[in-house]
Structure 1
Amino acid sequence: MHTDGSRPAEAIIPTYVYAVVFSSLCIVWGLLWDIMWHTSIGRDGLLSPPHLLIYVGAIVSGLFSGYKILDLTFRRNHPERAGAVRFWGIFYGSLGALYCVWGAIAMLTSAPFDDWWHNTYGLDVQILTPPHTVLVLGMMFVQFGAMIGVLAIQNKFRDRAPETDDQQRQAQRLKLLFGISAGLLLAVWFTLLSEQMGRYDAHSSSYYQTAAIFFPIYLLAVSRASLLRYPLTTITAVYMLAMLIPSWILPFFPATPKLGPVLNPITHYQAFVFPQLLIIPGFLLDKLMHRYNGKLNDWLLALIAGILFVAVLSVVQWHMGTFLLESPLSRNRLFLSTSWYYGSDPTWEYRYKFYPNNEDTLPVFLKGIAMAMVYAVASARIGLWWGNWMKRVQR
């Protein structure tokens, strides 16, 4: 990173940071497009449009982060080299750039593996096939690298106020970039869990147990690391928009199935799913952190946060699940409830109502929610510990 001599190096946001946040967006929208391609068209090729968008994310993050590493390695007088991470005894780089390069390599490696898998075994029946697992790990490395890249620069301003108007603008931009990068990673996190948390499962306690295990750890970590006034409200809003925009736009475009059996003869893209309403517990967790962060020990804070998260989410999502599945008002382009896989019978009797085996009795549901609260407290406590580490990252 070069400076003009009039302001410190850390006051400038490196180009690679913008590049990897852009890569993270390409990854999210490419992944969602790929899922909608499978549910609307079926078989795809190595160079299908959704795959190309994902590869753009991998290539951009890999090239910009790789250049960052090589620049630090071969410019011995580089002002950032002293604080860089050294690896393999030769190379120097920022932690975020390292994650992005490793992720890009994994993503590009998974492409021919996925093509071979399709040619051998046919159409995927689930999201996490072996080649998709390699791809998803690479995606999350790139996205985590984007978040850490922003965080490392942001943390240099954590304990001091910006001295100039330019530094103030840079600091505000860093806060926003962190919120965007964290929200995009949350979108992929939810997508991977969506098979266990569909609208058909909203009346089952297993739905909330899954959410309790996987979401508080992330939400509490990014809340503690962020300098935004309402970090979780911002991050969950980014996540919802990142999920919804492709599902609002793609159904306007034509798509016809290319593999049988075709039980639902569609003519346009089928949307993905309406995302979980994490923005509501996110806002309340923001309020909780404003009031008690630094005033309570982390165990007690995790106890309150975990119980609050499950209690709020179970009330909100129970009713939202009912609305999405059963209400005619949800059967539109806004709430996406008319979306239906081309290989599923559109006249299925449970298309717009809960399947009996997916509804818990009240005693079973309450017992399951109690267990979910236990899981959420443990998850929140780990998240606070992780957030403490993230606050210290500066390279």
Structure 2
Amino acid sequence: MQSTLAPPLQLAKIPTYIYAVVFSSLCIVWGLLWDIMWHMSIGRDGLFAPPHLLMYIGAVVAGLFSGFKILQLTFARMNPERAASVRFWGVFYGSLGAMYCVWGALTMLTSAPFDDWWHNTYGLDVQILTPPHTVLLIGMMTVQFGAMIGVLALQNRFSQNLSMNESETDPPAQRLKVMFTISAGLLLSILYTMLAEKMGSWASHHSSSYITMSIAFPFYLLAVGRASSLRYPITITAAAYMLTMLIPSWILPLFPATPRLGPVLNPITHYQPFVFPLLLIAPGFVLDKLLHRFGNGRLNDWLLAALTGTAFVLVITPVQWYFGGFLHTSPNAQNWFFLSSSMSYDTDPTWPYHYKFHPHWLEPLPDFLKGIGIALVCAILSARIGLLWGNWMKRVQR
């Protein structure tokens, strides 16, 4: 896996399988979001429902292209790329990214009949993290991590083996950098979706939401920031995540959808969108600035983790407090753009807390500040793990 073992890379163009696995990652995210909105708007979906098919397409494309790449390196002994591959099971050769994609695709396809059996046995579920969904999400994230690592390995090899006539501003090099942040944004979308039930706008005035954010996001954002060679990688990753989340929620409500499973408490006629995502782009920009100023060895990683973790909490808390309050209570947020008018078919529209905070999600100021203190500690530890992971990713070249 180390860079010293990888042969020089002359990058005339980006391999097709890299485009394929990033496309697969996009299909997987949008298939998942479509599936969530299908459950909100229509109800029970079958094994071959359109959202599932989109996810299967992502799994199959990633598995086939990555599997072909592995077989090509395994049987073409004279292929120069073989020296930069990883041997596994004593027989096969392939990149780390390709191996992750194959295993993730197999896990996703295995989870499909499991999920169908679960629905047939226990009925409709409304939770994201049921056992079959957890297996599916593990497979999705493995494919997406494979796509991200596949792009990253090429970026790292190319950056280290620049010749006198090559530059990191060459089009292939720039595309690799951007593709890495896009693939990172797609994986971030899945991570957010897994935890969305704990960080909705209804919870924006409760410290538990910020503790969850502080555990989940600093390690990932700082790992991406350290591994990428772009100037604002965390900001671009956060922007990619936001667009990935919002585009399906802006488009699908244009299409009709009627509930097929009772009880129907809210007789909708069109798809209901998911949620407006967290504004991670705000702390992302600050983290980029701090990495520019204090990264690259200028500051010990523990001190850098303390600085960036603290900055994450100090930025995301006021930003999401006010923006979450706006989303949850303001009539100006109840439109197609901010998505706050979304309401699933099995939700009682007369419930009094649709557009005001439930007492359970409010806490006294001392309790809130105590929770933010816990979030601060979590963010610092999360940031330190992220910097460590980022150091590993900077060395990946296989």
Q: TM-score, normalised by structure 2?
A: 0.96
Which of 375, 382, 386 aligns to 1:379? It is 382
Partner of residue 248, structure 1:
250
CA distance in 1 between counterparts of 2:218 and 2:276 reads 20
Q: Distance in 2 between matches of 1:25 and 1:251?
A: 20
Task: Please state if 1:315 is matched with 2:314.
Answer: no
**SS in structure 1 opposite 2:87?**
strand
1:326 equivalent to 2:332? Answer no
Paired residue for 2:177? 175
1:83 CA displacement? 1.8
User: Paired residue for 1:186, among 176, 183, 188?
Assistant: 188
Deviation string, structure 1 residues 252-291 (Cα, Å, up to 9, x no partner): 1000000000000000000000000000000010000010
Q: What is the correspondence of 1:260-339 to structure 2 with a 5 Å cutoff?
A: 260-293=262-295, 294-339=297-342
Counterpart in 1 of 2:261? 259
**Aligned 1:46-85 pairs, distance under 5 A:** 46-85=47-86
Matched pairs, number = 389
Partner of 1:238: 240
Deviations 1:336-366 (A, max 9, x none): 0000011011111111000011011100000
Q: How big is each residue's C-alpha offset from its partner over 1:274-327, in whole Å with a ceiling of 9 and x where there is no partner?
A: 000000000010000010002101000000000110111000000001100111
Deviations 1:171-190 (A, max 9, x none): 00000100110000000100
Give the conservation status (yes or no) of the 8 Å contact 2:10–2:158.
no
Task: Provide the alpha-carbon RMSD of the alignment.
Answer: 1.3
Alpha-carbon shift at residue 168 of structure 1 (Å): 1.0
Equivalent-residue separation in structure 2 for 1:53 and 1:385 (angstroms): 35
Tell me the residue number matched to 2:360.
357
Distance, in Å, in 2 between the alignment partners of 1:51 and 1:8 is 38
Residue 331 of structure 2 aligns to which amino acid in structure 1? P
Q: Within 5 A, what are the aligned runs for 1:192-203? A: 192-203=194-205
Deviation at 1:159, TM superposition (A): 3.6
Kept in 2: contact 1:23–1:58 (CA 8 A)? yes
Cα distance, 1:219 vs. partner?
0.4
Counterpart AA for 1:322: G
Q: What 5-or-longer segments of structure 2 have no aligned partner?
A: 1-7
Letter in 2 for 1:276: L
Q: Is the 8 A contact 2:156 2:396 kept in 1?
A: yes
Partner of 1:88: 89
Mapped contact 2:11–2:172 kept (Cα < 8 A): no
Q: Distance in 1 between matches of 2:144 and 2:289?
A: 27
Quick one: distance in 2 between partners of 1:360 and 1:97?
Answer: 47
How far did 1:57 drift?
Answer: 0.2
SS of structure 2 residue aligned to 1:92:
strand
Report SS of the residue matched to 1:364: helix
Report the alpha carbon displacement of residue 167 of structure 1 after superposing the two structures with TM. 7.7
The residue matched to 2:14 in structure 1 has which SS? coil
2:212 counterpart residue number: 210
- Of stretches 273-282 and 127-136 in structure 1, the one that deviates more from structure 2 is 127-136
Q: Following the alignment from structure 1 to structure 2, what is the Cα–Cα distance between the partners of residues 393 and 77? A: 23
Q: Distance in 1 between matches of 2:372 and 2:18?
A: 40
Question: SS of 1:195's equivalent?
Answer: helix
Residues 11 and 167, structure 1, Cα contact 8 Å, conserved in 2: no
Residue 12 of structure 1, CA deviation: 3.1
The two structures have a TM-score, normalised by structure 1, of: 0.97
Corresponding residue for residue 5 of structure 2: none
Q: 5 Å matches for 1:34-45?
A: 34-45=35-46
| C-alpha distance in 1 between matches for 2:47 and 2:161 | 49
Within 2, Cα distance between the matches of 1:175 and 1:280?
21
CA distance in 1, matches of 2:126, 2:84: 46
Change (3 A) 1:86 1:191: same
Match in the other structure for 2:138: 137
- The answer as to whether partners of 1:213 and 1:372 remain within 8 angstroms in 2 is yes
Question: For the Cα contact (< 8 Å) 1:10–1:156, is it kept in 2?
Answer: no
Task: Kindly provide the amino acid, as one letter, of the partner of residue 332 in structure 1.
Answer: N
Contact 1:19–1:61 (CA under 8 A) maintained in structure 2: yes
**Structure 2 partner of 1:3:** none
Deviates further, 89-98 or 151-160: 151-160
Q: Determine helix, strand or coil for the equivalent of 2:298.
A: coil
For 1:4-43, what aligned pairs fall within 5 Å after superposition?
Answer: 9-43=10-44
**Structure 1 residues without counterparts, runs of 5 or longer:** 1-6
Percent identity of equivalent pairs: 69
Q: Which amino acid aligns with 2:366?
A: P
Equivalent position SS for 1:203: coil
* Residues 158-167 or 280-289, more deviating: 158-167
Distance 1:296 1:277 in 2: 27
CA contact (8 A) 2:18 2:147 kept: yes
The Cα of 1:161 is off from its aligned counterpart by: 4.7
Q: Give the conservation status (yes or no) of the 8 Å contact 1:260–1:343.
A: yes
- Give the whole-Å Cα distance in 1 for the aligned partners of 2:29 and 2:213: 20
Deviation at 1:109, TM superposition (A): 0.6
